[in-house]
A and B are shown apart, each in its own frame.
Chain A
């Protein structure tokens, strides 16, 4: 329940992302500049911290070096041999180191090699022995020449402890540790980091605001172009863009307007031409109709009396009669086509049962199929396939498809499939003939197109059948699709919505349909007209 609105919100954000260049640009700019600023800030903070630390370290080491060298020099030059004067010496060395290093925390400790009884561990400034890292003491004990240093945390503040060995005459080897406070550096670093954070965020916000402004400035004319072109594409060819200024966007608008102008004039020209052609075809068909009727009457008369004619004329009369029939069919088809072209074709939808129609058509084709040696079968589901459509046009489509299948089926089996689902019904005609080459499949619905120009039309097709079928399908908002593989035959599938204003979600049949399938639950055997139980159990 919670997923729904959330998903919707995501969807809406995704939608906004996809649809708005402005949102995308601003978001990407903000993200990338933030990243760049963050990386820059981090690098800057890092280098500042390293620089702060290393410069302090250098200073610390240099001053420690000096202090410890002086201390060692004092100790080397010492002529003290008794405890009191050695203690005085150590006091002086401690205060000298404090003075030179200006550190308040110094430790002067006995090493393991110190002689017994002369000195004691001294620390100043509240420095505890526990504050000295064991690792540093171990290192100094291991190698008492040179300086050792280690970063430590003393009382929550960063510090550097410098350690070294000091050789004291008579009293032996001692260790000296000097603590240098780095809290000042830490504060400086914190301050710098704060400035970097605030500055970085402010910069990112500023850049975003600038980007938003700039993108809005650029996007407004682009939106105008987009909305104009949408309206233009929607058929409002008079739409034009207001041209302002002389910049690139103005050039775009001008070019768009020129293109629109050119397209508008060409479309008008083509429309005019097309209308003229359609009217010409329509006019020609109508004009041919009257003489053809007369010719037909005369031809019928002659044909009826052909027995009285000389056999040589008789043959001619028969030919004439056949060709007049064909001419009439062709003319009819042409008129039909011209009606489609003129947009005069209308749907007279009635509710009918598709299976009954299919049975009727199939049975009418049985003799022809038998004549061609093809076995014609109808496969339909058991439930009724009620559909609201123009029955005459559907019948014409299916007849056309079956006739084509018989003609191109090469005597193979021909299957007529019926399928139905909630949204659509479907009729598919499958043959097992030579098939159609892939390059030709897109052209099968072209007018007067034939796959093999050398092939004769035997069933008397006009070459307009599939075109008319396609137009009829379009009228139903349906789909007429072709599948073919050379050598395996072809399949034409008609899918129309159950009602003329319905929507097809999926076609109930596959392309080509496969059997058996749960939807195709019964097989009709045409020879016996017996409905046979299929897969239902």
Chain B
């Protein structure tokens, strides 16, 4: 009996232990379930979490951070610091402004000009806080990015006034604009090209500007483009597809996923379909000089304007002689000269002028023109014999896209219509001292070498035409530079570069200048009497008195043909 009770008791205990265990398991499960379902909600708290850096599209460009003024700086140190701070264009030249008094800070305009100087500025501190700073300026850039080279460095003197503010020297008066030493200028500033069109929208016309390579370079370029062409190209020389009054909606251009969106004001929508296509092309061409821009779209009121591609209808960029074939007059006939020295006689139109003692010639479409010491001849269509247009000594003939023949006749620029009649073009600023002139291939600009006292000016003038395309006026030119006497010929080597041949003694030099940009000079071996250029510097050919033709090979010149009396490029 006792044992049975015992057994019963033990069973109870066993069961009691099981119940305890079960309760334990149950409570654990309930707790786990509770915790899990507690977590099963969208969180509404928890500290801040950091994720990797934002992958911003590269904006490119340089940011130079100059040092601000230190306490106790002398007047000279303040001036040098201020001049050095001309490179710190971040935050609208915030560092340079630190050198200024608070009054000048708000009125000083750093964008007025950029002086590119060589060497160290000379500083002389005078009485009453006046200080003269003299720098040797090699080039200057105006507000709109036009670069003017000074052929021989000129010292520019600028006057500053310094006052003490709370015991520290600050600049109280300073000329607008900044000065940058050349090595830093070369790093920061780049040559960019704005593109406009000729009035017929057949060609793109470049307008070279210099801008700082900053993250907002694209914005600046578009702002310049919207502002319009340079003054020497204005007045109808070139056209823009951007409707009047169009501005950037916001002073920035955003690039995301390698698409650059140009947000324009609503005036942009006044352009018709072709106008919008041309406007987009203009923007694309202008921004293509920046490595950060690959695709451009126009947006108005936050909406991307759908613009289809122009395709083959697009205006031609950098028009160049057809197939870049050099034509030579070997005394008997005109022939194509290949790079390997073989010649190929040209039949037809070329034969009409080939019998003349040509000094220069050109063939464009169905028109061939040539100059001799006795005059200017023209042959059109399938004419057997050329027509003589003038009996004065002529040189530097060119034919424009409308068929007008341009040549320097007796030290004046003369224009003859396709019918052979002389067309008067207003050129009041240009006298009887033209050495050489050449019309650009797009027919918008005339490059001129003109005597200017003891020196020779290199000029580029915009050409105004009437509605029919008849040339009417050469506008006030852009002076690229002035050269020593000896410059004898000027040709276009591309749509924005001219090449100038100058001789001194028995040697000649070829200088290639970018219109609105810098120049490079090549020396030749012997004195050249004529020069022609196709597309690019490598296509420049020199003709020597000996009848040899030279072509550039690297930095030297190489003879490519002999027994030649005239050279030119075919169109």
Contacts and interface: CB of A to CB of B under 8 A. Distances in A.
Contacts of B40: 42, 45-46, 48-49, 189, 193
A149 B52 CA distance: 11
B26 A35 contact: yes
B44 A39 contact: no
B250 A85 contact: yes
Interface in B245-280: 249-256, 263
Interface in A40-85: 41-43, 45-46, 48-49, 52-53, 61, 65-66, 68-70, 72-81, 85
B90 A149 contact: no
B57 A69 contact: yes
A229 B31 CA distance: 46
Interface string B34-68: 00110111111111111111111101000000000
Contacts of A410: none
B218 interface: yes
A145 interface: yes
A189 B37 CA distance: 11
9 contacts: A42-B32, A72-B54, A77-B215, A78-B252, A79-B223, A136-B48, A150-B47, A151-B45, A189-B42
A148 B263 contact: no
A65 B54 contact: yes
B216 interface: yes
A95 B36 CA distance: 41
Given A76-B215, A77-B216, A146-B50, 12 more contacts: A35-B26, A49-B41, A69-B55, A76-B56, A85-B251, A88-B250, A88-B251, A92-B249, A96-B302, A99-B302, A139-B50, A170-B94
B219 A186 contact: no
Given A77-B216, A79-B216, A158 B32 contact: no
Nearest to A37: B33
Contacts, number: 171
A143 B51 CA distance: 11
Interface residues of B, number: 49
Contacts of A66: 256
Contacts of B302: 95-96, 99
Nearest to A152: B44
A99 B301 CA distance: 13
Contact of A77 (B26, B32, B91, B254): B254
B527 interface: no
Given A146-B53, A149-B48, A169-B92, A74 B254 contact: yes
A504 B36 CA distance: 59
A42 B36 contact: yes
Interface of B: 1, 15, 26, 29-30, 32-33, 36-37, 39-57, 59, 90-92, 94, 215-216, 218-220, 223, 249-256, 263, 302
A69 B52 CA distance: 12
Interface string A144-172: 01111111110000110001100001101
Contacts of A88: 249-251
Interface of A: 18, 31, 35, 38-39, 41-43, 45-46, 48-49, 52-53, 61, 65-66, 68-70, 72-81, 85, 88-89, 92, 95-96, 99, 115, 133, 135-136, 138-140, 143, 145-153, 158-159, 163-164, 169-170, 172, 182, 185-186, 189, 193, 504
Nearest to B94: A170
B250 A73 contact: no
A357 to B, nearest CB: 26
Contact of B48 (A148, A158, A169, A193): A148
B220 A38 contact: no
Contact of B29 (A39, A89, A138): A39
A151 B43 contact: yes
B44 A170 contact: no
A163 B54 CA distance: 12
B51 A52 contact: no
Given A146-B51, A158-B44, A170-B91, A80 B253 contact: no
A68 B59 CA distance: 14
A92 B263 contact: yes
A96 B45 contact: no
Contacts of A79: 216, 219-220, 223, 251-252
Contacts of A18: 15
Contacts of A53: 42-43
B252 A74 contact: yes
A76 B59 contact: yes
A36 B94 CA distance: 69
B169 to A, nearest CB: 24
